[in-house]
Structure 1
Amino acid sequence: MSTTSPDNVNAVFKAYDVRGTVPDQLDEDFARATGRAYVQVLGVTSMVIGYDMRPSSPDLAGAFADGATSAGADVTMIGLASTDQLYFASGHLGLPGAMFTASHNPAQYNGIKMCRAYAQPVGLESGLAEIRDLVVKGAPAGSNRTGSISSHDVLQAYAAHLLALAPVAGRKLKVVVDAGNGMAGHTAPAVFERLADQVDLVPMYFELDGTFPNHEANPIDEANLVDLQQRVLAEQADIGLAFDGDADRCFLVDERGRGVSPSTLTALIAARELAKEPGSTIIHNLITSRAVPEIVAELGGKPLRTRVGHSFIKATMAETDAIFGGEHSGHFYFRDFWRADSGMLAALHALAALAETDKPLSELLAEYERYPMSGEINSEVADQLAVLAELEETFAARAGAEGVEIDHLDGLSVVAADWAFNVRASNTEPLLRLNAEGKDDTTMAAIRDEVLSIIRSGK
């Protein structure tokens, strides 16, 4: 089957990016056709392209550039980059862009994240569906000229910009960074060499290797944090940082070797941003802990709940002029970073907050941790719609007795006084994702297990 066939194209174009396996779903023909369609649909005349360390990324990026130039656009290649480095280039240069990465997915995957100038999102509702349809239709060359291809290194400018947004000053910190053989191995040295007097850096797996020889670059899976947790304890470090494959997500490990909830980091950064601009709007997605809107409101901010996914959050930030947004998946969005997500900028906020106090990280974060959470639990389900319907019927019956509230902002959310959960279909994988929360460990475990029993009975 051709990679530009309707079945394949429809399969790999997701809600807010392109994702598939190489070479059966993504190959150079597909990338070339997508580059041509991207230029024509968005009216692009100049653009930037970056790519991650996966073996297939340089050739796919080159083919996309060929397609873009054949449609008349001039292309600036920034080479190896994290996704937030591509967003920086888009904002810094005022150009639309494309990033070749499959983020945390295994080695056989690749993908494309596309944006308009100044890192404005491109999702199914904002141009991606039209690009998909034109790939299927077959975009003609559509231009009397062939665009040019040039190179531009933005790594040092990227590092300087992040540190200007979140300067780190105070006590010296010992920091362990696990790059997972992903793109943080490219960006972290540029950032931390500027913090040599402030940070004693302990690098882990900085070698760029898209086969991920040590562990998957997916820190939301606790199994992939074990090496970092052990190293933090062995080094008696103040903090550990774990990045995903394209380094747009960051997870923390405290000085005790304990993983930190992304909701807790969301609340910490929200507090820092609200201190700079009181009364601002803070975005949190619907699987973030209820502690986040509580803390934002207590600090005088305006919490606003939104769907999961970067294109939705960025659009909501633009509509509301929100100063910051956080997702429980480890994505953190900053108005001063063109509303784009940056794992490294989130990490710098954590380091800055920690350096300003004599407290250990666990003590610093204690005020932002209020409710036990299950973490994201994934289940493969044959009939996702049937399972969601069964869940809704089960919990709707409790609406009167337990004050249960149900909504469908993204999947199925069920909220009661002492617990809450959300179940939604993955936008990138054939899974149902469960996130549950309770007033205490016992309550959380009970609702988690009850919901899981229904989900997994539908396999």
Structure 2
Amino acid sequence: MSDLSKIVKAYDVRGTTPDQLNEAVARAIGTAFVQVLRDNGEKADKIVIAHDMRDSSPPLADAFAAGANAAGAEVLHGGLASTDLLYYASGALDLPGAMFTASHNPAQYNGIKMCRAGAAPIGQDSGLTDIRDRAQALLDSGETPTGEDRVDRHDLLADYAAHLRTLVDLSGIRPLKVVVDAGNGMGGYTVPAVLGDSVLPALPLDIIPMYFELDGSFPNHEANPLDPANIVDLQQAVRDHGADLGLAFDGDADRCFVVDERGEPVSPSAITALVATRELAKYPGSTIIHNLITSSAVPEIVSENGGQPVRARVGHSFIKAEMARTNAVFGGEHSAHYYFRDFWFADTGMLAAMHMLAALGEQDRPLSELAHAYERYVASGEINSTVDDQQAKLAAVTAAYADADTDELDGLTVRFADGAWFNIRASNTEPLLRLNVEAPTGERMSELRDGVLALIRG
């Protein structure tokens, strides 16, 4: 019997196939999804779904559609898509949506990302727990509700590409040579449409594709650019081709990572600050959301450009909720998720990439010089430690730094008068503590990092 508590996470459904996530589970979740929305007084007569390139994704999506049909909903099936393409469909059509993907996880995984109409998020505190419990009850009962088969298949790629082109105009930039590593994920499907000329007129971009073949077994490397090992090929290709920059997308292409002309990674915090300045130029005085592990440079630069920085917890459901609450024009996370008010407050790696291309192409400096203006501090990157008792370790660190400025918005954040800070957060799913450290100098960062790690691992 399937135990949905093991695969329904804080923001989505994620598990191994077929033992944890299979067609019976997907069908039950499809029925529960429609029922819970309807019980909450939300529109659910029609939904939109799509899937990534994993072998297990099409049958899971079809099973979910059958479950939604059984609950009385019509289904618009978009077929292959990136996650942000599904968000586009949910927003543009004002329909609840479900995307079948395990993002950057290995091939044996799959998952479901669900949203309300208008791409509004669904998390554990905003309906996902109810969907889990309703689906679990269906599975436990052995019932398989049936309904009229009402599935309309429609290709959404061209409409998505055209919409993104209206948000960032790349037609007048200087010519750029761009290496794109799709990691055999959905970027290989969307990049030719948005940045290439497969469905729209050509842009002044010379796209050099890497691993554009859709292959859910990920034969070249994991589709997780957050791991430095997975961007080594991109870095070398940028240098070999003398490219202006490189872009790397994760498996469902909702995150975008950037390397400069030297093949060096550009910090997601620097990208957040850069895109924030562009959005503030367009919408002066607006609110910008940043999560609490982005660089201190982000709120500083936002304030210097007349914006209102607002700090939020890590995680897309928290960022999206804060975006909607404050009507923020843009939000960024250090994990390379970027959120736009012009995109229904949803995250889209492609739109962030377009902003980076525009910022680079509208001036003459190389990306390394352009990005340097947004990088003011030295960061450790996220360091994971396996611990037996997360709360005990957090308590020990809290006691050791009791004289410093602390807060507990998301885990423990400790700030010092010299501008250094660290944050420790407990993983929701693993016995891990996640540490991020930042300081004005590399020496200070290393000193603080090593001191905190000694407490965590000692």
Same fold (TM > 0.5) = yes
Aligned equivalent of 1:202, options 193, 205, 208: 208
Quick check: 139-148 or 105-114, which moved more? Answer: 139-148
Query: Cα gap change, 1:58/1:428 in structure 2, threshold over 3 Å: closer, same or farther?
Result: farther
Deviation digits for residues 165-208 of structure 1, max 9, x if unmatched? 01112210000000011110110111122463410000000011
Q: Counterparts of 1:417 and 1:163 in 2: how far apart (Å)?
A: 44
| Offset at residue 143 of structure 1 (A) | 8.5
Which residue number corresponds to residue 219 of structure 1? Answer: 225
Q: Counterparts of 1:10 and 1:208 in 2: how far apart (Å)?
A: 31
1:53 match: secondary structure: coil
Task: Tell me which amino acid in the other structure corresponds to 1:15.
Answer: A
Task: Tell me which amino acid in the other structure corresponds to 2:191.
Answer: A
Alignment of 1:350-369 (within 5 A): 350-369=356-375
**Contact 1:282–1:325 (8 Å) recurs in 2:** yes
Which residue number corresponds to residue 378 of structure 2? Answer: 372
1:13 match: secondary structure: coil
Q: Counterparts of 2:428 and 2:98 in 1: how far apart (Å)?
A: 19
Q: Counterparts of 1:438 and 1:72 in 2: how far apart (Å)?
A: 55
Query: Cα gap change, 1:338/1:428 in structure 2, threshold over 3 Å: closer, same or farther?
Result: farther
2:288 match: secondary structure: strand
Aligned equivalent of 1:13, options 8, 19, 25: 8
**For this pair of structures, how many residues does the alignment match?**
446
Q: Counterparts of 1:135 and 1:343 in 2: how far apart (Å)?
A: 31
Alignment of 1:275-286 (within 5 A): 275-286=281-292
Alignment of 1:171-190 (within 5 A): 171-190=174-193
Aligned equivalent of 1:315, options 292, 296, 321: 321
Quick check: 424-433 or 115-124, which moved more? Answer: 424-433
Matched, 1:138 2:128: no
Task: Tell me which amino acid in the other structure corresponds to 1:262.
Answer: P
Matched, 1:89 2:89: yes
TM-score by length of 1: 0.94
Which residue number corresponds to residue 162 of structure 1? Answer: 164
Deviation digits for residues 385-436 of structure 1, max 9, x if unmatched? 222222212221xx1xxxx211111111111123111111234555322111
Quick check: 133-142 or 221-230, which moved more? Answer: 133-142
Runs of 4+ in 1 over 6 A off after TM superposition: 139-144
Deviation digits for residues 5-27 of structure 1, max 9, x if unmatched? xxx21121111111111122111
| Offset at residue 229 of structure 1 (A) | 0.4
Which residue number corresponds to residue 447 of structure 1? Answer: 448
Quick check: 415-424 or 329-338, which moved more? Answer: 415-424
Alignment of 1:238-317 (within 5 A): 238-317=244-323
Q: Counterparts of 1:387 and 1:214 in 2: how far apart (Å)?
A: 38
**Contact 1:68–1:147 (8 Å) recurs in 2:** no
Task: Tell me which amino acid in the other structure corresponds to 1:285.
Answer: N
| Offset at residue 287 of structure 1 (A) | 0.6
Aligned sequence identity (%): 64
**Contact 2:195–2:203 (8 Å) recurs in 1:** no
Deviation digits for residues 128-159 of structure 1, max 9, x if unmatched? 11111112222888999535111011101111
**Contact 2:138–2:144 (8 Å) recurs in 1:** no
Task: Tell me which amino acid in the other structure corresponds to 1:182.
Answer: G
Which residue number corresponds to residue 46 of structure 1? Answer: 46
Deviation digits for residues 23-81 of structure 1, max 9, x if unmatched? 22111111111111101001121101111111111111111111111111101110111
Unaligned runs of 5+ in 1: none
**Contact 2:390–2:431 (8 Å) recurs in 1:** no
| Offset at residue 454 of structure 1 (A) | 2.5
**Contact 1:72–1:147 (8 Å) recurs in 2:** no
Unaligned runs of 5+ in 2: 39-43
| Offset at residue 384 of structure 1 (A) | 1.7
Task: Tell me which amino acid in the other structure corresponds to 1:154.
Answer: L
Q: Counterparts of 1:372 and 1:406 in 2: how far apart (Å)?
A: 20
**Contact 1:285–1:307 (8 Å) recurs in 2:** yes
2:78 match: secondary structure: strand
Q: Counterparts of 2:35 and 2:131 in 1: how far apart (Å)?
A: 8
Quick check: 387-396 or 259-268, which moved more? Answer: 387-396
Which residue number corresponds to residue 154 of structure 2? Answer: 152
Q: Counterparts of 2:30 and 2:138 in 1: how far apart (Å)?
A: 12
Q: Counterparts of 1:146 and 1:435 in 2: how far apart (Å)?
A: 51
| Offset at residue 378 of structure 1 (A) | 2.1
Which residue number corresponds to residue 193 of structure 1? Answer: 196
Which residue number corresponds to residue 114 of structure 1? Answer: 114
